[in-house]
Structure 1
Amino acid sequence: MKCSLWKLSITIVTMVFSILCFIQENPFDTTSFLSLEEKKMVAWQRARMQTSPGRTNYLETFKEMQKNSELLKSMNASIFLGAPPVTKKLLTIGISMVPPPQDYHLVDTLQSLFFASTSSEQKHFIVLVHLAGLDPTRLDQMTSSLTVFFEPYLQARQLVVINTPLQSYLQKNGTDTPAHVAFYSKQNMDYAILMNFATNHSDYFLMIKDAVKCTPGFVTHIASTVSALKNKLWVTLEFSQLGFTGKLFRTKDLPQFVHFLLLFYQEMTCDCLLAHFHDLVQQEPIQFFPPLFRPIGNYSSFSGNFGNLKEKEFEENGTSSPSNPKASIYTNLKVANGSAVTSAYSLDKNFFSVREAEVGSHLTVVLDIPAEIFRVQVLTGSDLRENRLEEGQVELGYDSTNLVTDCDDYVLLGLLVDGTLNKEVLSCRSGKKVKCVRLLVTATSPSKVIIRNINLWVN
């Protein structure tokens, strides 16, 4: 078996590099109108299509090859601060720091990450930071910052920092390498080292960049999403479209992807390699909106440039209007004088006013006919951002006992962020029909609350 795997692996690598050499030596090839980078992409596609169609075997090949990766063995990463957890966690959040010339965003990102998660959520994850190839001065500066700001998390084994010495990288690339190639080659190696270290500490691995803000409750969002997709085949789930940020893996898949990165680390960026890797099993990207991670400023990691990193998913989706099928509205919220609960579900500019929202109270929309809902939007507060419901969550209900005014089975869709939820519904892909949409208050509001809109999009 091992012999056949090695034969297949040698065939794959030989195909790729022989085709690349042919492209560079034959300028009148039929793909000569393409750029060199595009030619490499075509070469990779050709090689992939000529390999065995057994995709599982293909991934197993990478798993076998990873055990003998000389490049990975030569990258001497070691624990620099903190210590791994004693017990296995649900999630490892990985950050590979790319130092810009003037400023650092790692501290901001870590603060956002821990502040956006509750103490109960923090029990289920660790943060793994890779300080990749820093010079001694920068390494000392970063060590001081992390120790000052995050000592409790280091002591609690919730934050682990690893370091790869700069000289480990200097041996890998010649000085004549173009700047952009040298950058993404090193970045691919950074990611490979980080993921290789993370393999045994949790069930899932989440990659984020070192210049992002995290949405409050992001851990619960991810956990509920993974639970909803437990019977679905996937390689990566995407909670952001900012390059490699917000990509979730099963840790059991990391060894294959690590070696995949190291096989082609000089050929293309990590984003492109990931697209090719998950195409072996997962035909289409699985993306979720709105994003859980947003950029700090407009920072671009390559060369410290600032540019427009705004994701298309940040913009309001105004391509279609909500459907809001016929439904009955039920609530035990304390209604303000003269306000009608149906205004929360109407498609006009009316709103529902609540004089007091106590923890555990709810507003529930019960559809006359269960429907396949693909998007839910909940807006609270006035146009001036006053009277928002700061602590609440939205749940979807499924009925099996034909209750008239409620459902007997609810699942969490998401938490309100700044009084708002705007989220795609996973169950629509399985054809599962929703009967109830419930807005649940999770902490008593100190003042009046306005529920402006509950909008539903139905297939």
Structure 2
Amino acid sequence: MKDFLWIFITATVMMFSILFFIRENPFDTTSFLSFEEREMVAWQRARMQIHPGRTNPLETFKNMQKNSELLKNINSHILIGAPPMKKKLLTIGISSVQHPHGSSLLDTLQSLFFASSSSERKHFIVVVHLADPDPKWLGQMISNISTLFKLYIQAGQLVVINTPLTSYLLLNNLKKNFNDIPAHVAFYSKQKMDYAFLMNFATNHSDYFLMIADDVKCAPGFVTQIATIVSAWENRLWMTLNFSQLGFIGKLFHTRDLPRLVQFLLLFCQEMPCDYLLSNFYDLLIQQTPIQFFPSLFQPMGNYSFEGKFKSLKDKEFEENDPSSPSNPAASIYTNLKVANISVLVNAYSLDKNFFYAKSAEAGNHLTVVLDVPARVSRVQVLTGSHLKGKNHLEEGQVELGYDATNRVHDCDDYILLGLLENGTLNKQVLSTESGKKVKCVRLLVIATPPSGIIVRHINLWTK
């Protein structure tokens, strides 16, 4: 499959060398190319014939982008909200159209905002592209979103846009690939343009862009999970990080790569569905294989439909809140907190109703669980404070996962942030790739001195 696109590029280059095909064709994707670009493609064809073994797909694509007019006619309008004044960490993009079974966009937005804390929401903006031209549907969605999500709009966390049909390619005489019926080809061709226009709008508002669908449920704390992974991969080369196995859902990009991806989607919008096309785009930026994290952070809510036909679409790697009991494998506990005389440190990790009490704590203090045998930890839960009196919470603290390459006895040599405590608690899944390292340490770190002593009721671990 991944070689298909370069076969197509080669054929396209050869075709454009003939002057007949340089002529304007209103039903062809290449009608967006300028005359100079078409001449360049013809030159590429001659170059490939002379030096066929020295052709570089990335260089070919870069040349196709030079002086490009593909984005010249794009004129997306803001319907609701306003772009952020300052650059955010993350833009979450959703493109939505009408569906025969009804729209789930409002439920998706509800899940997205409910699955993120107030502190997490400060670091992202949601951009919704209402990509259906039906004025009645547009008016209804604008009204519903304005009413239900007023607080998020006023906080600058939600923007809704629309792109007029004049920016779209004509969807007549489309190519028939993979034995698809014409309606399928038209649907997927327009969908790629919908995505491209959304990404084009989102290019300058954040460091990263996350694409999700308009009918998904979001895992609690997904923003912190993604931020943690981004931090851990900061010094590694990647083009896309996948937080769902399905289609174009849960795909994370650097925003600096979006302009190239936008033009890629527009240039080849007739060739194949987005997820297949994306696998070819990997090759352009030298990412050989997808980088997939488990468990998935996004789950389709119900059934996928096309032309009134329904079929189940579920991500098997998405985990609901695990109702099973924690496993808490054998471990040693270490701390530099001031322990009360009557308190027992191991109670912080026990599975009974006992608890650990520290009479005072300062910024930089920690309580660290060191597993006897490193394990694949799938979920971590930390509960502080008295559940009866509602006191002695650790309000400002964070939980970190530790890995060890030097066989330390009482500690680890490499920690990454799992998440911040919210109201004295944390309950998060742990993402990892198939080749992910095993966790040796789980550290509760005090990041600001609390006004009184703290209670650590439970540090619970689930392992695979």
TM-score norm. by structure 1 comes to 0.70
In structure 2, the partner of 1:454 is: 461
Q: 1:354 touches 1:448 (CA, 8 Å); kept in 2? A: no
Match of 1:310 in 2: 314
- Indicate the SS of the match to 1:313: coil
Given the superposition, is the C-alpha separation of residues 440 and 165 from structure 1 closer, same or farther in structure 2, using an over 3 Å criterion? Answer: same
Contact 2:211–2:248 (CA<8 Å) still a contact in 1? yes
Shift of 1:242: 2.5
Question: How many angstroms does 1:172 deviate by?
Answer: 3.3
Q: Any idea what SS the aligned residue of 1:436 has?
A: strand
| 3-state SS of 1:294 partner | strand
**Bigger mean CA offset, 279-288 vs 245-254:** 279-288
Q: Which amino acid aligns with 2:415?
A: Y
- Cα deviations by residue, 1:28-78 (Å, 9 ceiling, x for unpaired): xxxxxxxxxxxxxxxxxxx9x9998889x6445534534644443334322
Distance in 2, Cα, partners of 1:212 & 1:326: 37
| Structure 1 segment 193-208 matched on structure 2, within 5 A | 193-208=197-212
Amino acid in structure 2 at the alignment position of 1:141 = Q
User: In the aligned structure 1, how far is the partner of 2:171 from the partner of 2:434?
Assistant: 47
- Three-state SS of the structure 1 residue aligned to 2:272 is coil
What is the match of residue 111 of structure 1? 110
Code of the aligned partner of 2:261: F
Contact 1:62 1:259 in 2 (8 A): no
Query: Structure 1's 455 and 158: CA in aligned 2 closer, same or farther, altered over 3 A?
Result: closer
Of 240, 243, 264, which aligns to 1:236?
240
The partner residue of 1:285 within 269, 277, 290 is: 290
Matched, 1:173 2:172: yes
Partner in structure 2 of residue 188 of structure 1: 192
Distance in 1 between the 2:418 and 2:434 partners?
10
Q: Do 1:132 and 1:164's aligned partners in 2 also have CA atoms closer than 8 Å?
A: yes
Report 1:8-47 matches (<5 A): 13-16=9-12
Q: Please state if 1:423 is matched with 2:430.
A: yes
**Structure 2 length normalisation: TM-score?**
0.69
- Which amino acid in 2 is paired with 1:293? F
CA contact 1:398–1:435 (8 Å) conserved in 2: yes
Aligned to 1:97: 96
How do 1:361-440 residues align onto structure 2 when only pairs under 5 Å count? 364-368=368-372, 374-378=376-380, 394-397=399-402, 405-406=410-411, 410-413=415-418, 421-425=428-432, 435-438=440-443
Is contact 2:80–2:159 with CA below 8 Å preserved after alignment?
A: yes
* Aligned partner letter, 2:139: D
Task: Find the aligned partners of 1:326 and 1:379 in 2 and give their Cα distance.
Answer: 16
Give the Cα–Cα distance (whole angstroms) in 1 for the partners of residues 430 and 370 of structure 2.
19
Is the contact between residue 333 and residue 354 of structure 1 (CA under 8 Å) also seen in structure 2?
A: no
| Match status 1:271 vs 2:267 | no
User: How far apart in 1 are the matches of 2:8 and 2:433?
Assistant: 36
Q: Residue 374 and residue 91 in structure 1: after superposition, are their counterparts in 2 closer, same or farther (change >3 A)?
A: same
SS of the aligned residue for 2:353 comes to strand
The DSSP-based 3-state class of the residue aligned with 1:192 is helix
Task: Please say if residues 415 and 421 of structure 1, whose CA atoms lie closer than 8 Å, have aligned partners that are also in contact.
Answer: no
State the Cα distance separating 1:240 from its structure 2 match.
Answer: 0.9
CA distance in 2, matches of 1:197, 1:63: 21
Residues 345 and 356 of structure 2 are in contact (CA less than 8 Å); yes or no, is this contact kept in structure 1?
no
Return the letter of the residue paired with 1:144.
S
CA RMSD of aligned residues (A): 4.8
Which has more helix, going by share of residues?
1
Shift of 1:111: 2.0
Aligned to 1:42: none
Q: Show the counterpart of 2:304.
A: 300
AA partner of residue 85 (structure 2): V
The percent identity for this pair of structures is 59
Deviation, structure 1 residue 15: 2.2
The number of residues matched between the two structures is 396
Please name the residue that 1:219 is paired with: 223
Shift of the 205–75 alpha-carbon distance from structure 1 to 2, 3 Å rule, reads same
User: Is the alpha carbon distance of 1:326 and 1:98 closer, same or farther for their aligned partners in structure 2, counting shifts above 3 Å?
Assistant: same
Change in Cα spacing, 1:59 to 1:133, as seen in structure 2 (3 Å) is farther
